[in-house]
Amino acid sequence: MSKALNFYEEEILKGEKKVNELNSIISKLSILRLIIMLLIVGAGYYFYKQENLLFMGAAIIIGFLIFIVVAFFHNKKINEKNYEEIFLAINKRGINRINGNFKEEDQGKEFINDDHNFTSDLDIFGRNSLFQMINSTKTKFGRNKLFEILSIKDKVSREEINKRQEAIKELGKKVKWRQNLEAQATLRKSGVKDVSDLIEWSKNSSPVKLWFKIVPYMFIALTVASIILVILRMLPVSYLILVFIINYAVVNVITKDLKSVINLFSSHKKDIEAFTNLLKLIEDENFESKLLKGLKEELKVEGTPSYKEMQGLKSLVDWIGDSSANAYYLLLNVTILSDAFILRNLEEWRMKNGKKLEVWLKIMGEFEALSSIANLDFDFESWSYPTIEDTDIVMGTKMAHPMLGERAVSNSFSLARVNGKYRKVALITGSNMSGKSTFLRTVGLNLVLSYIGAPTCSNKFSCGIFNIYTCMRTKDNLEESISSFYAEILRIKLLIEAAKNGEKVFFLLDEIFKGTNSKDRHEGAKVLINQLVNNKAMGLVSTHDLELCDLELTRPWLKNYNFQEHYENNNIKFDYKLREGRSETQNAVHLMKLAGIDFK
C-alpha cells in the first residue's frame, strides 16, 4: 500500500470514529436542551400556581442561562462534526484520486474551450479531466488561478518551472496544512461566488473629508452637553428628544451611501470571514521554497500581516450586520452617531488597503491552486519530476496516462538525437482501439504536467519547452456552418502559422484529414509533416494510412511506431504496448462482424 493511501485510510478511520462520538454527544445535548426547556416551563408554571412571582422569575432566568450554556456547547459540537465531515470527504477524494475514480467531482465545465491550443483535446477540463482529478480549490480566485496554470496562459521558462517544482514538492509534504486550507474555505461556504463587486468597492477609495471627521464629534458634544443639562434639570427632557431627532437626521444625511455598503457586505460576510481565515493560515505557516516565500512576503502591509487588516474589515462588517433592526444600535446611533464612524472607518480601511485586496486574494488563490497540483506529489510517490532541458527533446521512461489509475499501461518513448539522427516526428499506426489516441494524450499530458511544475506519470521524463498544439477532436459547428473537416483545416492552419511565426511547436495530430479521400489524405499529411519540420516543429502523428510509413525511408527525422492487437477465442485483445515499426494488423472487419454486419 502506498504512503498516501495508508494516510487517507487512517484519517478516514479516525474521522469516522470522531464523527460517531460527536453524534452521540450532540444527541445527548439535544435531549438535555429539551429537558431544560420542559423544566423551565414546569418550574415557571409551579411557582405561578404558588403565586410566588419572585421564585418564578428566578427559575425562568436561571433556566434560560443554563439553556444558553448548553445551546452554546451543542452548536460548538455541531460545528466540530461539520468540520470532521469535511475532512472525511477530503480524504475520501484522495483515495478516489489515486484509484482514478473522480468522475463525480467538479469538471470545471466553464473552462472548456474547443478553440484552445490543447486543453480540449488533452482533457484538461471537463469529464475525466486533469482539473477534475486534482482540483481542491474552494474560492473563485483559486479556481481561476488553477485554470490559468493548467491552460499555460503565460509563457513558462526553465527557471519558473524549477521554482514551481520546488514549491509543489514542499506543499506535497504539508498534507495536513493543505487539507486545512481546503476545509476552512469549505466550512465558511465561500465557494466560487463572484466577489467582483467587493473588489470594485475596494478600488474606489477617496480621502475622508475633514468635515466628515469633525461633524460627528460636534454633535456628540452637543448630545453629551444636552444630557448633562437635562440631568441637572436646566433643560427639559423634550429638548433631549429633539437633539436625538436632529442626530438621527444628521447621521442619515452624512451616511446616505451606507445602505448600499450594508447590502454589499451582507452578501459577502462569509466570504470575508473565509478569506481572513485562509490568509491567516498562509501567514502562520513557514515556507522554504522561493516561490512560496515570495508570495507570502507580498501579503505584508508595512510589516503587518494582511489577515490582521482583513480582521479589521471583518470587525466592521460584524458591526454592520448587528446594526439592522436593533433597538440598542438605534440608541447608539442617535447618541454617538455610530453609523458615521463605521462609514468613516470603512473609508479609512479602503484608503489603506483597498488597492491591495485583490492582490491578497489572488495570492491566496495561487496557494490554493498550487496546493491542488501538490495532490499529485503526495498521492503518486512513484511519479517523477521532469528534467527541463535547453534542447528540443521529449523523452519518457515507463510513461503512462495520468488519469487512468491502475488501468494505465506504461510505455517508453523518445524524440531526440539518437545515433546521430535527430528524430523530430513519431508516426503512430495501429488498428482501431489499439491505443494510438490515448498514447498521444499521454505524451501531451505529461508535457503539460512538466510545464506546470508537477510530477509526471513516468519513471523518468525529460523535455524542452514547447508550445503544445493539438488536432485530435474536431466537431461540426452548425451555427457557424463549419463541417468537421473544415474545422480540422482551421486548426491545422493555426498550427502552421504558429510554427511559421517562430513558436517552438510540439504537435499532436490524431487521424488528420480523415474527412477526405485516401489520396488527398495521404498527400495532405505528407506535405503537412514536411512543412512543420521545415519550420522547426516536432511531434506525433497517428494514422491509419500505412503508406505514410514509407516516409521513414527518406526522412531520417521520422520514426515509425505501432500498437497491435491479438485474438483469444475469437475475442479481440489489446496490450497497449508501443512497438517500433509500422502496423501489420487490422481489425476493422472483425469489429464490424462483432457489431452484427454479415459479410457473406
Q: Give the residue extent of every domain in the chain.
A: 1-99, 196-379, 387-594
Average pLDDT over residues 11-22: 94
Confidence of residue 488 (pLDDT cuts 50, 70, 90): confident
φ, ψ for residue 154 (rounded to 5)? -100, 145
**Of 208-217, 372-381, 455-464, where does mean pLDDT reach its minimum?**
208-217
φ, ψ for residue 595 (rounded to 5)? -80, -5
Q: Tell whether pTM > 0.75.
A: yes
- Please report, to the nearest 10 degrees, the dihedral formed by the alpha carbons of residues 429, 430, 436, 440 taken in order: -10
Cα–Cα dist 413/425, whole Å = 12
pLDDT at 572: 73
Cα–Cα dist 116/379, whole Å = 29
pLDDT at 401 over 50: yes
Instruction: Give the mean pLDDT of the chain.
Output: 83
Number of Cβ within 10 Å of residue 390's Cβ equals 8
Which one has a higher pLDDT value, 320 or 212? 320
**Of 71-80, 181-190, 414-423, 476-485, where does mean pLDDT reach its minimum?**
476-485
Confidence of residue 435 (pLDDT cuts 50, 70, 90): confident
Cα–Cα dist 20/18, whole Å = 5
Architecture of domain 387-594: 3-Layer(aba) Sandwich (3.40)
Helix axes 140-150, 338-379, angle to 10 degrees: 40
Residue pair 171/178 in contact (Cβ under 8 Å)? The answer is yes
Confidence of residue 426 (pLDDT cuts 50, 70, 90): very high
Q: What is the 3-state secondary structure (H, E, C) of 152-209?
A: CCCCCCHHHHHHHHHHHHHHHHCHHHHHHHHHHHHHCCCCCCCCHHHHHHHHCCCCCC
pLDDT at 389 over 50: yes
pLDDT digits (tens, 9 = 90+) for 550-568: 888 888 899 999 988 776 6
pLDDT digits (tens, 9 = 90+) for 193-203: 678 888 887 87
Number of Cβ within 10 Å of residue 266's Cβ equals 12
pLDDT at 194: 76
CA distances from 232 to 77, 207, 240, 331 (A): 53, 41, 13, 21
DSSP string, 263-309: HHHHHTHHHHHHHHHHHHHHHHS---SHHHHHHHHTTEETTEEHHHH
Cα–Cα dist 256/502, whole Å = 58
Name the grid cell of 577: 504496448
pLDDT digits (tens, 9 = 90+) for 65-112: 998 899 999 999 998 999 999 999 999 999 999 988 888 888 999 999
Confidence of residue 476 (pLDDT cuts 50, 70, 90): very low
Number of Cβ within 10 Å of residue 273's Cβ equals 20
Quick one: which of 575, 593, 246 has its CA closest to 433?
A: 575
